[in-house]
Structure 1
Amino acid sequence: MQLRIFCACIFTFCIFANSLRSEDVTRPNIVYIMADDLGWADVGYNGAEFYETPNIDALCASGMRFTSAYPGASNCMPSRSCIMSGMYTPRTQMWTPGRMAKGNKAKMKFLVPRNSDRQGDKVFPSLGALDPSVVSVAEVLKEAGYKSAHFGKWHLGPNGQGFDINNTNGLGAGTDKRFYGNVDVAENLTTAACEFIDDHRDSPFFVYLCHWDVHTPIRARKEIVSKYSDKLSNENWTRDWNPTYAAMIEAVDTSVGRVRESLEKNGLTENTLIMFTSDNGGFSGATWCEPLKGAKGAFYEGGIRVPACVSWPKVVKPGTVCDVPITGVDIMPTFAELAGAKLPTTQPVDGKSWAPLLSGNDVLSKRAIFWHYPLYLAGAKYNKVVPIYGTDEMYWRATPCSVIREGDWKLIQFFESDSVQLYNLNDDIGEKNDLAQSNPEKATALLNQLKSWQSKTKATIPTTLNPDFGSVNGDRKSQRKPKSAAK
């Protein structure tokens, strides 16, 4: 009898010990580091020629590189809303910073909220802040016992969305402050993040570190700019690279290195998941996104494909590569699974957890991901990738559109022309060969799936014709009569 009781006690203890070990693995500290406007091709591990990212490259080498990582939008504000809410933009109705279409109103076929006047304000909602009722990833993790801190760019309105700390400059500034072009802000943010790690090393924590760099204005510390100016002048390069932009990248890279050092100092490296990424593609006025087409604001790959890597030594094997597409709305369900937290029941969660990918399980390889944009955004330099409706003149970064990617296939639906473009990204990462005509079956199947998603998310699709379309500088007296709206 005593032996039986003893064995039962040992058995119970083993189960308890195993559950603790399992809990240790599934409840890592989480550090999410995001650059602003850093292009997919701007990091060394993706082939950057001029820029130096040794710390980001080392982070990548220590874990998993995602070759097909995407934000939920092609610019900063809606991208962040997807991360924080787990919802696609049709649900948050956050489309673009400033809320309005940007560009010549005479070149817009549809009437939409626009920055030139108030004509389209009431056509459909375009919000500038995340609804405070939305349950955020920080609030999800808080229910599982995590302490959370946001450092850096916010761009989601005045509400802190449940973070224990909201600090936009590393020195205590609130969510309404901006620090673009501040040459010291990357260092200050990193210092604050490292201090938070020091203070919370004995409990699970979530650090959301969002750099203001490398967003315009392009400014950096003079001594680092000088280093890259010398580098530029001492060799022959394929491009006239911007030394100041390179110095901004170095500021972000140095931050990654310092955070890793802080984790190592505190003995937290093994069971801390660190993710590095960017909020959207690179800015065409500062860098080049080749071999990708387009840049920030576009829905071609240059605007939405971003560098991303994850290190978690306890679970992720060094040097691994994942080709399965992941997107911004996946962050909430992924971090919730890792933390053993429950997802909110008061709102839809559009994303899927990519936690299984970290151990080589490609369960998400066949699921589709989506984007939607009902506004207009003028282009510049090589980022004029969409023509004015009815012409061959390239003017726009983006016009009203929806996008689906499933596996290697990507389809873009343009609402102005009621047309689609189809690309096989495995064969054509630069989106040079539109296959919509040669593979109508695939185009139709993806379009039907996209339309079903639009219906499910109640995506706003503009149909009201713009009375200023075709006029000269918005002068209606000289306008041509617009064609009927696409159905």
Structure 2
Amino acid sequence: MHTFRPSVLGRLTLAALLTTLMLTNFAAAAEEKRPPNIVFFLVDDLGWTDIGVYGSSFYQTPNVDHLAATGMRFTNAYAACQVCSPTRASIMTGKYPQRVGITDYIGAAQPEGWKRNTPLLPAPYNTKLDLEEKTLAESLKERGYATFFAGKWHLGNQGNWPEDQGFDVNMGGIDRGGPYGGKKYFSPYGNPRLPDGPEGEHLPDRLASETVKFIEAHKDEPFLAYLSFYSVHTPLMAREDLKQKYEDIKSRIRIAGPIWGEEGKSKVRLVQEHAVYAGMVEAMDAAVGKVLDALDRLKLTDNTVVIFTSDNGGLATSEGHPTSNLPLRGGKGWMYEGGIREPLIVRYPPLTKAGSESDAIVTSPDFLPTLLALVDKPGPAIDTDGVSIVPALEGKPLDRGPIFWHYPHYGNQGGQPTAAVREGDWKLIEWYEDGKVELFNLVDDIGEKHDLADAQPEKRKELHQKLRQWRKQVGAILPTANPNYKAGK
């Protein structure tokens, strides 16, 4: 019987082989444990029904529709406010806007020097996102992420721009609420944080291209790519070819019923048929597609969380009235569903089932805790008002309490100082001018046509009390009486 005894060379070869196998296994394990990349699409002023998969039959959005077909579509997602800056601050911090003091769009009139003849003076608000606030980008940098921002910031002036709040790269994020420099949506942009491209270059495409460049450069490490579109905010401007495309479509359709209605003293659009706005929506959709295609090409899709949402409802009651939010009531600037309910699509292949749908109630502060839960890496604790929606992404019930709003201002779109709470099927709105309270069952009445405040006094009392308690908890500032108000004028 012979005993096998490996030679010295054989033993070294075997050891080398075992070492190689161990390193390969360690590398594979490290690859498996690599935290997910994050791509966050935030569209400005996009309404709940402005996307094909959410019911639009006029705007064409094949790329966002494909994202929904490969991810999860939420039907009860909300912005933290009916105007932009508060929602943006909420997404960045995971807090209600009242906690950070940004309760109106930055640039709105403050109570001192108020010139409108209104019964109330609006509450004062913070004009920047304080550097002391921990942002989503800062939390992810602490966990080893490369961070990128493109597009609209609108959370403060120089010194409070994205690069001051945790983003390694800032392409176009400044204090402005729209693309108001240069040729606006076309180069030259006149934006100090976005070098001009070739004459006539289109802004949404440029922002997508910059996002793709960042992803390509950081494909081998975890990254946050935050593409915050200036689209589809005013000024209403589209590429000429897209404008003509929708003018041609519009000429071929027959519209049944009225195009215009009324919301309070405001005219409200009832039909989606604005050709320029449609072109803006399609250009935004194409930009989304450019980024999603890059994820596929770089084989990053399976380990990337993609979030697509908006900062407030569609612009239906002023400034060109470019879209309709029906069946929702009202629009941007209003506390009705048209002002706050948003499209939300989340795709993360390890969790979300392709083509799935969730009726979980989600709000802006939820994004930060959700993303940190998915990253699942040690880091400093952060206080948030949101909850992780990971259970909903897994197709499970999301057990959460009520969500709240507080807007102590007069909007440019006709809305007045209001507060609201939604819990389960029920939503209560309080109007600060006269103390009126409205109550709606949103499951039975998504259009908020039937006020049940008198018919359901116990539910009204319960929700109103919760709203008052929440206001105290977050330190909400109320509007005050306007000493210069002249009734009847």
Q: Is the structural similarity TM-score above 0.5? A: yes
1:119-149 Cα shifts (integer Å, max 9, x gaps):
xxxxx53112100111100001111111110
1:125 & 1:199 partners in 2: Cα distance? 43
Alignment partner of 2:55 out of 28, 47, 62: 47
Q: How has the CA–CA distance of structure 1 residues 468 and 438 changed in structure 2, closer, same or farther, with 3 Å as cutoff?
A: same
Per-residue deviation at 1:185?
A: 0.6
- Equivalent position amino acid for 1:167 in 2: M
1:40 aligns to what SS in structure 2?
Answer: coil
2:177 & 2:341 partners in 1: Cα distance? 28
* Corresponding residue for residue 410 of structure 2: 376
Alignment partner of 1:363 out of 390, 398, 409: 398
2:460 aligns to what SS in structure 1?
Answer: helix
- Equivalent position amino acid for 1:289 in 2: N
Percent identity at matched positions?
41
1:338-395 Cα shifts (integer Å, max 9, x gaps):
11246765x741111112211112233x42111111111254xxxxxxxxxxxxxxxx
Kept after mapping to 2: 8 A contact 1:31/1:209: yes
1:41 aligns to what SS in structure 2?
Answer: coil
Per-residue deviation at 1:91?
A: 1.1
Tell me how large the CA RMSD over aligned residues is: 2.6
Structure 2 residue 297 is the aligned partner of structure 1 residue 280: no
2:254 aligns to what SS in structure 1?
Answer: coil
Alignment partner of 1:340 out of 353, 360, 376: 376
Alignment partner of 2:119 out of 109, 124, 130: 109
1:440-472 Cα shifts (integer Å, max 9, x gaps):
11111111111111111011122x321222256
1:182-205 Cα shifts (integer Å, max 9, x gaps):
141101000000011101110011
* Corresponding residue for residue 206 of structure 1: 224
- Equivalent position amino acid for 1:37 in 2: D
* Corresponding residue for residue 266 of structure 2: none
Kept after mapping to 1: 8 A contact 2:94/2:365: yes
Structure 2 residue 344 is the aligned partner of structure 1 residue 308: yes
1:162 aligns to what SS in structure 2?
Answer: coil
Structure 2 residue 343 is the aligned partner of structure 1 residue 326: no
1:196 aligns to what SS in structure 2?
Answer: helix
1:57 & 1:235 partners in 2: Cα distance? 22
- Equivalent position amino acid for 1:99 in 2: A
* Corresponding residue for residue 127 of structure 2: 128
* Runs of 4 or more above 6 Å deviation: 15-19, 101-104
Alignment partner of 1:451 out of 447, 460, 468: 468
Kept after mapping to 2: 8 A contact 1:144/1:341: yes
Kept after mapping to 2: 8 A contact 1:101/1:376: no
Kept after mapping to 2: 8 A contact 1:69/1:306: yes
1:351 aligns to what SS in structure 2?
Answer: coil
2:360 aligns to what SS in structure 1?
Answer: coil
Kept after mapping to 2: 8 A contact 1:141/1:341: no
Structure 2 residue 107 is the aligned partner of structure 1 residue 72: no
1:323 & 1:202 partners in 2: Cα distance? 35
Per-residue deviation at 1:251?
A: 0.7
Q: How has the CA–CA distance of structure 1 residues 411 and 132 changed in structure 2, closer, same or farther, with 3 Å as cutoff?
A: same
* Corresponding residue for residue 71 of structure 2: 63
2:379 & 2:326 partners in 1: Cα distance? 38
| TM-score, normalised relative to structure 2 | 0.82
Per-residue deviation at 1:82?
A: 0.5
* Corresponding residue for residue 7 of structure 1: none
2:478 & 2:378 partners in 1: Cα distance? 33
2:369 & 2:473 partners in 1: Cα distance? 19
Per-residue deviation at 1:325?
A: 0.8
- Equivalent position amino acid for 2:121 in 1: L
Per-residue deviation at 1:110?
A: 1.9
Q: List alignment gaps of at least 5 residues for structure 1.
A: 1-11, 113-123, 380-395, 474-487
* Corresponding residue for residue 470 of structure 1: 486
- Equivalent position amino acid for 1:154 in 2: W
| TM-score, normalised relative to structure 1 | 0.82
- Equivalent position amino acid for 1:221 in 2: R
* Corresponding residue for residue 216 of structure 1: 234
1:267 & 1:219 partners in 2: Cα distance? 35
1:52-72 Cα shifts (integer Å, max 9, x gaps):
001100100111000011111
Per-residue deviation at 1:303?
A: 0.2
* Corresponding residue for residue 14 of structure 2: none
- Equivalent position amino acid for 1:62 in 2: T
2:349 & 2:357 partners in 1: Cα distance? 15
Alignment: residue pair count: 426
Q: How has the CA–CA distance of structure 1 residues 37 and 217 changed in structure 2, closer, same or farther, with 3 Å as cutoff?
A: same
Looking at CA atoms only, which structure, 1 or 2, has the larger radius of gyration? 2
Q: How has the CA–CA distance of structure 1 residues 240 and 452 changed in structure 2, closer, same or farther, with 3 Å as cutoff?
A: closer
1:78 & 1:189 partners in 2: Cα distance? 23
Per-residue deviation at 1:294?
A: 0.4
Kept after mapping to 2: 8 A contact 1:69/1:327: yes
